[in-house]
Chains A and B, each alone.
Chain A
Amino acid sequence: NAGVTQTPKFQVLKTGQSMTLQCAQDMNHEYMSWYRQDPGMGLRLIHYSVGAGITDQGEVPNGYNVSRSTTEDFPLRLLSAAPSQTSVYFCASSYSFSTPVEQYFGPGTRLTVT
């Protein structure tokens, strides 16, 4: 199993550009989520999904869209990048949202918006 994969690893965007961060898992996990991690802020939940076709907002959803058309994939779209979105983005998955289980994190995408 590859686990949770994310692409790209690094990205530089100009203000106003849009892009999609890719996330895939091959563990047939039900629950997937996107976090951003900033110095002094800890991990913050952006969006999450409890199954294909179902998504919901986390703490900091503004400026981001998600979709979950398959169990495996959970892309994160930045609609119009802003410098405040400079961060490290982690995708995570777990096999259930109905019982407490560990989350498996992808390697992260380091995004800089200039």
Chain B
Amino acid sequence: GQNIDQPTEMTATEGAIVQINCTYQTSGFNGLFWYQQHAGEAPTFLSYNVLDGLEEKGRFSSFLSRSKGYSYLLLKELQMKDSASYLCAVERAGNNRKLIWGLGTSLAVNP
């Protein structure tokens, strides 16, 4: 079967670091996306990982382990505007690169 698991909710403090995990089981794997979605808005792209390891982009980093079916999104120097839902999506091999989406992790950043 196909399954993506993320924690439902997380809370962190402004200025801190938070790690949002995503585990997946899919038949065929091309890569993994992370998107950010503020309440009432559309998802926006954060990162894409296809190879094992860490990809850093400013305050945000994303890690992938293909053998473990595991990824995480690391947010540093948290700001209030980082309060949002973070969606993990796996791109399946073949099938016109369709995405399987996780339910998202709702992150609340408190002052």
Contact = CB atoms under 8 A, between A and B. Distances in A.
B47 to A, nearest CB: 9
Interface residues of B, number: 22
Interface in A20-72: 40-45, 48, 50, 56, 58
B44 A105 contact: yes
Contacts of A58: 98
Interface of A: 40-45, 48, 50, 56, 58, 90, 97-98, 100, 102-108
Listed from nearest, the 7 A-B pairs whose CB atoms lie closest are: A102-B45, A105-B42, A43-B101, A42-B101, A42-B103, A105-B43, A100-B31
Contact of A100 (B42, B50, B101): B50
Given A50-B96, A107-B41, 16 more contacts: A42-B4, A42-B102, A43-B87, A43-B89, A44-B101, A45-B98, A45-B99, A48-B98, A56-B96, A58-B98, A90-B42, A97-B96, A100-B30, A102-B33, A103-B45, A105-B43
A48 B99 contact: no
25 contacts: A40-B103, A41-B103, A42-B4, A42-B101, A42-B102, A42-B103, A42-B104, A43-B89, A44-B101, A45-B99, A48-B98, A50-B96, A90-B43, A97-B96, A97-B97, A98-B97, A100-B31, A100-B50, A100-B91, A102-B33, A103-B99, A105-B43, A105-B44, A108-B41, A108-B42
